[in-house]
């Protein structure tokens, strides 16, 4: 039986989610997950449902019962009027989310709204068409004046002082949007400059397939930069972006777990995410292996909880994929029994049967005053089929206690690797040697059998203060754990109550779900640790994000942790 085309996989979750997002609309036209007027927070991400609604309203397809729906039509009219009311006279919007209050203009919402406008323009009441068009144009004018034209001479596309004062991902999306809007609204100067800047951004891509946000890959946000390049390539017909799209596909294809989630330990901006990203799908789908990769992402999408932004990206992917034949498809590496990929000579990901292990050799300096740039302090991620993430390699910021290795505490802690050497693979083992400011360390991961992985860590130097190693089990708020050791059996539910156990000479076991983590002597099990939150104005994470840590001294001879999974 032939597999459904990718564009059909994009349409299906939109069809099934329409009832849910229609029920989310308030009487003033906004889409929000909270009950009406429970909060005055305005979430620009959810307003992007307008594009999903426009696609369903206009698309004739046997699987789409929403074609011409009056409910959708009225919802879109209310939504368009509401969004327009949040674009002031000079084109700016007010962002009011997670205690962030700032003037900006969201290019992601503007793009979704512009695409919806183009689909509906001939059907909109004259006054609504004028309202939408003028507000979209004001927003684009604001982006041009504040975020593109002032950087017309730039050669660097990051938020550094000599860059573009925002993330590379934003700038790529600005260029794609303004190039399209320039053609649409007769602004040739937008088209010309955005083409020139996009060519420079393409040249700034690292050979490994990513665009810098600071130093090294920011895997999650690279999807967004990639998406902007694909939009520009598809909409302009300019083939200059194809090589960059191919390199980006190679990176993302190899550094993704079999559940479609990006591998977090090499990411310099985002922690482990709860699901796959669907940015860039049509870019990946330009090649047979990319179509296999896009299918993997879509197959793990949680259809019952699509955000407005995810819905908009699926709608846009449907439109882009409908413009060309999809062609042959080859399986993505995640479906193979084993594969191995090395990034820049120092990071490695390896799938062996049901296991995926990743060792990060990424090193970077701190960027203290930028809350979105994390400290590259975690070296190890472990994933297992039937369980998902087992050991979380998410990076953090100003939290050396969450680093794989650290010596000392607070601002003076030594916890950031200065250089990493990938050691030759020996049998079913991967290893790295790591240099810190005051000590040397090593991590070896041995694939023992389909149920067992062993992690061996060691450190030399750091006389006086001990070098500590920390692993972060992927167990979450509300889940149960049991600590065996210290003379007893200690069941706990991860909630509001803190707890800690010191497992002395003989160590013990931490059990959660199907996982048993065998702990060496001297291990401390501690909960909760609240991780740094880049997306809150005061960097506060909700209790549901709290983490459990296991920490022990990393002796010269090495200490071993063993992960066992019950199938």
Q: What stretch of H or E contains 441?
A: strand 439-449
For residue 474, tell me if it sits in a domain: yes
Are 202 and 248 contained in the same domain?
yes
Are 297 and 444 contained in the same domain?
no
For residue 294, tell me if it sits in a domain: yes
For residue 137, tell me if it sits in a domain: yes
Last residue of a domain, one of 301, 316, 334: 334
Mean pLDDT of 480-509: 93
Give the Cα separation of 521 and 102 in Å (integer): 50
Are 153 and 247 contained in the same domain?
yes
Residue 144 clears pLDDT 80, i.e. is over it: yes
DSSP bridge partners of 375: 396
Q: Is 269 in a helix, a strand, or coil?
A: coil
Q: What is the pLDDT of residue 98?
A: 77
Last residue of a domain, one of 279, 307, 334: 334
Are 434 and 317 contained in the same domain?
no
Percent helix, strand and coil across the chain, each rounded to 5?
35, 25, 40
Q: On the CB side of 356, how many CA atoms lie within 13 Å of its CA?
A: 30
Angle, helices 168-185 vs 219-236, to 10°: value is 20
Q: What is the pLDDT of residue 305?
A: 83
Angle, helices 188-203 vs 168-185, to 10°: value is 150
Are 408 and 274 contained in the same domain?
no
Which string of DSSP letters, residue by residue, matches 468-485? EEEE-B---TT-EEEEEE
Give the burial class of 447: count Cβ atoms within 10 A of its Cβ; 0-12 exposed, 13-18 middle, 19 or more buried: buried
Residue 460 clears pLDDT 70, i.e. is over it: yes
26, two tokens: 């308030």
192: Cβ contacts below 8 Å, ≥ 6 apart: none
Residue 122 clears pLDDT 90, i.e. is over it: yes
Last residue of a domain, one of 334, 350, 381: 334
Are 225 and 153 contained in the same domain?
yes
Are 184 and 148 contained in the same domain?
yes
Angle, helices 70-85 vs 49-58, to 10°: value is 150
Backbone φ, ψ for residue 545 (5° rounding): -90, -5
Mean pLDDT of 161-171: 96
Are 271 and 311 contained in the same domain?
yes
Query: Which among 538, 521, 533, 566 has a CA at the least distance from the CA of 550?
Result: 521
Structural domain count of the chain? 2
Are 11 and 129 contained in the same domain?
yes
Contacts for 385-389: CB closer than 8 Å, 24+ residues apart: 385/258, 385/353, 385/354, 385/355, 386/354, 386/514, 386/565, 386/567, 387/513, 387/514, 387/515, 387/565, 388/257, 388/259, 388/474, 389/257, 389/261, 389/272, 389/474
Give the Cα separation of 433 and 359 in Å (integer): 11
Do the Cβ atoms of 168 and 213 come closer than 8 Å? yes
CATH of the domain at 194: 1.50.10.10
426: Cβ contacts below 8 Å, ≥ 6 apart: none
Give the Cα separation of 354 and 351 in Å (integer): 7
For residue 468, tell me if it sits in a domain: yes
Give the Cα separation of 319 and 55 in Å (integer): 8
Looking at the chain, the whole-number percentage of residues with pLDDT higher than 90 is: 89
* Tens digit of each residue's pLDDT (9 = 90 or more) over 317-338: 999 999 888 899 999 999 999 9
Q: What is the pLDDT of residue 60?
A: 97
Are 307 and 358 contained in the same domain?
no
For residue 101, tell me if it sits in a domain: yes
213: Cβ contacts below 8 Å, ≥ 6 apart: 158, 159, 167, 168, 169, 221, 268, 269, 372, 373
For residue 1, tell me if it sits in a domain: no
Which string of DSSP letters, residue by residue, matches 501-535? EEE-TT-EEEEETTEEEEE-TTEEEEEEEPPP-TT
Mean pLDDT of 299-313: 93
CATH of the domain at 556: 2.70.98
For residue 427, tell me if it sits in a domain: yes
Are 124 and 198 contained in the same domain?
yes
Which domain, by its residues, includes 417?
341-565
- Measure CA 379 to chain center: 18
Are 298 and 405 contained in the same domain?
no
Omega cis (within 30) before 431: no
Give the Cα separation of 33 and 20 in Å (integer): 10
Q: What is the pLDDT of residue 3?
A: 86
- The band of 132, judged by pLDDT with boundaries at 50, 70 and 90, is very high
Residue 39 clears pLDDT 90, i.e. is over it: no
Do the Cβ atoms of 393 and 349 come closer than 8 Å? no
Mean pLDDT of 241-256: 98
Q: On the CB side of 497, how many CA atoms lie within 13 Å of its CA?
A: 6
* Tens digit of each residue's pLDDT (9 = 90 or more) over 537-559: 899 999 999 999 999 999 878 89
Residue 77 clears pLDDT 70, i.e. is over it: yes
| Predicted model pTM | 0.97
Which string of DSSP letters, residue by residue, matches 146-191? IIIGGGTT-S--SSSTTTTSS-HHHHHHHHHHHHHHHHHHT-HHHH
Give the Cα separation of 503 and 483 in Å (integer): 9
Query: Which among 389, 327, 332, 326 has a CA at the least distance from the CA of 355?
Result: 389
CA end-to-end span of the chain? 30
431, two tokens: 């290893």
- The band of 1, judged by pLDDT with boundaries at 50, 70 and 90, is low
Mean pLDDT of 238-244: 97
Return the residue matching tokens 């939504």: 79
For residue 351, tell me if it sits in a domain: yes
């Amino acid at each position: 039986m032939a597999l459904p085309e990718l564009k059909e996989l994009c349409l299906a979750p939109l069809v099934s989610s329409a009832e849910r997002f229609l029920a989310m609309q308030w009487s003033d036209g906004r889409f929000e997950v909270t009950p009406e007027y429970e909060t005055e927070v305005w979430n620009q991400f959810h307003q992007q449902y307008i594009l999903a609604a426009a696609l369903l309203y206009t698309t004739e397809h046997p699987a789409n019962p929403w074609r011409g729906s009056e409910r959708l039509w009225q919802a879109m009219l209310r939504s368009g009027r509401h969004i327009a009311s949040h674009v002031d006279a000079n084109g700016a919007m007010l962002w009011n989310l997670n205690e962030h209050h700032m003037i900006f203009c969201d290019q992601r919402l503007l793009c979704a709204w512009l695409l919806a406008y183009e689909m509906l323009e001939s059907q909109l009441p004259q006054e609504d068409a004028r309202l939408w068009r003028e507000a979209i144009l004001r927003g684009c004018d604001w982006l041009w004046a504040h975020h593109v034209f002032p950087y017309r001479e730039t050669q660097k596309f990051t938020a550094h002082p000599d860059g573009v004062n925002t993330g590379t991902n934003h700038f790529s999306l600005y260029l794609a949007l303004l190039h399209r809007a320039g053609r649409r609204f007769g602004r040739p100067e937008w088209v010309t400059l955005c083409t020139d800047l996009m060519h420079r951004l393409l040249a700034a891509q690292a050979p490994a397939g990513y665009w810098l946000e600071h130093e090294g890959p920011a895997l999650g946000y690279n999807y967004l930069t990639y998406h902007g390049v694909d939009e520009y390539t598809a909409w302009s017909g300019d083939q200059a972006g194809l090589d960059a799209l191919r390199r980006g596909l190679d990176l993302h294809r190899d550094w993704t777990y079999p559940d479609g989630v990006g591998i977090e330990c090499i990411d310099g901006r985002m922690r482990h995410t709860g699901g796959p990203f669907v940015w860039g799908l049509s870019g990946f789908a330009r090649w047979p292996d990319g179509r296999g990769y896009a299918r993997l992402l879509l197959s793990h999408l949680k259809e019952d909880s699509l955000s407005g932004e995810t819905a908009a990206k699926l709608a846009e992917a449907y439109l882009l994929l409908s413009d060309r034949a999809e062609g042959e498809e080859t399986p993505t590496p995640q479906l193979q029994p084993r594969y191995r990929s090395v990034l820049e000579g120092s990071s490695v990901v390896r799938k062996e049967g049901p296991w995926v292990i990743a060792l990060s050799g990424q090193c970077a300096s701190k960027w203290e005053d930028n809350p979105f740039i994390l400290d590259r302090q975690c070296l190890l991620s472990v994933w297992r089929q039937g369980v998902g993430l087992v050991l979380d390699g998410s990076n953090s910021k100003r939290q050396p206690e969450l680093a794989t290795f650290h010596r000392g505490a607070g601002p003076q802690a030594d916890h950031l690797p200065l250089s990493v050497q990938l050691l030759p693979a020996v049998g079913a083992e991967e290893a790295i040697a790591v240099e810190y400011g005051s000590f040397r360390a090593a991590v070896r991961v041995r694939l023992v059998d389909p149920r067992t992985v062993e992690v061996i860590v060691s450190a030399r130097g750091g006389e006086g203060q001990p070098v500590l190693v920390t692993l972060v089990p992927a167990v979450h708020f509300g889940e149960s754990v049991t600590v065996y050791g210290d003379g007893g059996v200690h069941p706990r539910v991860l909630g509001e109550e803190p707890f800690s156990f010191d497992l002395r000479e003989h160590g013990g076991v931490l059990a959660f779900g199907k996982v048993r983590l065998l702990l060496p002597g001297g291990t401390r099990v501690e909960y909760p640790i609240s991780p740094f939150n880049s997306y809150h104005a005061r960097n506060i994470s909700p209790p549901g994000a709290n983490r459990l840590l296991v920490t022990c001294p990393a002796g010269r001879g090495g200490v071993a942790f063993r992960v066992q999974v019950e199938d």
